Amino acid sequence: MDVTVYGSLRAATGAKTVEITVDGDTVGAVITAFVDAYPRAKSQLVDANGELRPSVRVMVDGDNASHDQRVPSGAAVELFPAMRGG
């Protein structure tokens, strides 16, 4: 599955779009696979309990997606970490 990342996540991936292997079909499975593939991104995406940080936005095919939402095969997934500044 291709995942497009923004902001500080690019430092962890080295690219705007990366391909990961996902075991499951939910946003949570995508996040788990992404963190497994790019451990440096973990602190930006999940808290100490492994829960998605509230400030992280996940988009599936251009729509906001929740942790339990299904991700169809071939869907466009985008990860937006918390942005700092004002």
pLDDT digits (tens, 9 = 90+) for 38-67: 999 999 999 888 888 888 999 999 999 999
Is residue 41 situated within a structural domain? yes
**What total of structural domains would you count in the chain?**
1
Owner of token pair 């998605």: 52
The residue-averaged pLDDT of 72-82 equals: 92
**Distance between CA atoms of 43 and 65, rounded to whole angstroms?**
20
18: phi then psi, degrees, rounded to nearest 5: -125, 155
Is residue 9 situated within a structural domain? yes
**Distance between CA atoms of 11 and 63, rounded to whole angstroms?**
24
Residue 63: give the domain boundaries.
Answer: 2-80
pLDDT at 86 over 70: no
Global pTM?
A: 0.91
**Distance between CA atoms of 25 and 74, rounded to whole angstroms?**
11
Res. 84 pLDDT band, cuts 50 70 90: low
Question: Tell me, what CATH number does 49's domain have?
Answer: 3.10.20.30
Is residue 42 situated within a structural domain? yes
The residue-averaged pLDDT of 16-30 equals: 95
Is residue 86 situated within a structural domain? no
Is residue 85 situated within a structural domain? no
> By the 8 A CB rule, do 58 and 65 touch?
yes
Amino acid at 22: V
52: phi then psi, degrees, rounded to nearest 5: -60, 130
Is residue 62 situated within a structural domain? yes
The residue-averaged pLDDT of 62-85 equals: 89
pLDDT at 82 over 80: no
How much is the pLDDT for 85? 54
